[in-house]
Each structure stands twice: as C-alpha cells, then as structure tokens.
Structure 1
Amino acid sequence: KKCIDKIEEEKCFVDLLYADEELAIARENRRSTKTLIQGFSMGGEFLFITIPGEMFAEIGLEFKRRSYENGFKHIIISNYSNDYIGYIPIQRAFHLNTYETRLARWSRVTEDAEKIFLDKMTKLMNDLKL
C-alpha cells in the first residue's frame, strides 16, 4: 500500500508516522526493557502502588478489586512514576490497533503487558500484606 501520494489522508499520515517510529526502535536493537514497580502499605488498609507508564483503567480496576478482596480498603495507583514505558493497554485493545497499542517510542509493551503488570502488582500487594 502506498501512502506517499496520499500524505494528506489521515490514515496514510498515521501509517507513515508509525513506520518512522518502528524504524527508530529497530535501530535501537532493544529486545526488552527493565523497569520498576514499587509500593507500600500502611496499617494493612492503605495500599500505594507506582507504575512506570499510563495504565488502562481496566487494569487498575482489576487490581483494585484484587486489593479489596485481600483486605485493603484504600488503594492509590500512581502512573508515570520512576520511569516511562508508555501506555499499558489491556490485551484486547491490541486487536483494535489504536495508537496506544502500536509500537512506538511512547508505547513499547506487547499484548502480554496486562497480565505481566497485574501479576507483578498482585505479588507486590501480597508481599506488603501485614
């Protein structure tokens, strides 16, 4: 599909923008990224978790549900903390091919990001229980 002659069309513009992003990432030759999730609890009721990107609300709501089931009453999730790995979408969002899920310097996670983050946050929560 050629977009060169159709640069004014929105879809072509977006496709070319992401092609440029994918090329920049390929030149970095990075296969994975290490980042940091942190948290603390107070009194067994308050839980504070930091996330290194912009997490989709569905992930945060699922984590809060798990936290409530484990006895926490007040949960705060801080996005954009200590690092920035981009958007952290839910798995089914990848099938929609929206900007949050497309590979770019501002979005570097794969379809398993939801599971990875929920698993890591849940392990941290369990470690922080009194």
Structure 2
Amino acid sequence: MSGSPTLPAPGSPEDLEAGLAAVRAALRTDVEELSCRLAPARLPGLARQTARSALSGACARLRGQGAALAQRAGIRGTVAPDPGAPPHAGPAHDAGHASARDRLARLLDDARDGDPTSLAIVSALAVALAGLSAVALVKAVTR
C-alpha cells in the first residue's frame, strides 16, 4: 500500500484540485488492494501460505536441533543397514548403520516402552508441533 496520503500545500485552486485528485487516486488504490487481500475467496489460500511458511520454518529449526542432538549423541551420518545384521543389534551397530527411519521407529518403540529419554524427545516434538499448529492458526486468522 502507498501509505497515508498527504494533502497538498496551499496554493492556487488548480494546484489544490490536482493534489486532491492525487490523494483520491492513492486512497482508491489502497482500498482496492485491501479488498483484494481480504476477499473471502483468497483467505483459505492465505491461510495455507501462512501455515506452509510457519511449517517450513519450524522444520528447519527442528532439523537443526536434530542435527545438534545427533552430533552430541555421536551419530555422524546415515549408512545403509547391513542386510545380515539383526534390526536391533545394540548401540555399537546403531551408531553408524541404522537408517533414519529405523532410528525413528526405535525411538517411538522405546517411548511406548516407557524409556524416559525417548518419552522426553517424543513429548517435546508433540508440543512443538502443537505450538506450530496454534501459531499457524492464529496467523491465518489475524491476517
């Protein structure tokens, strides 16, 4: 939007008319832009766009936090699992040979079994996702 229009400085009547015409044109442009932004047909798309941007930001933050946690835990990278190794071969096997999907499944299994660390991680992720949903909903409604 063009901002708040300013009235012309006092001068001849023709200057005043020209200045008022410019102010009217600026106000008309602002009103048209606002009506386009707030059209009911456009609001669902705006809500989706806001939710996507909030989700992508949260995902990026979670990836960064996950990488930091993995680094602290000593997990350097993902290597394809050894086809001859059992799925839960212990920590020495898990550190370098389990895929991300296997580690996630193991994390969820451990959380279901009541492991405090796994429960804390899964709970924190659930709270983060709930918060993200609330933020996206509030942003979608207030825009």
TM over 0.5: no
What TM-score results when the alignment is normalised by the length of structure 1? 0.27
Higher helix proportion? 2
What TM-score results when the alignment is normalised by the length of structure 2? 0.25
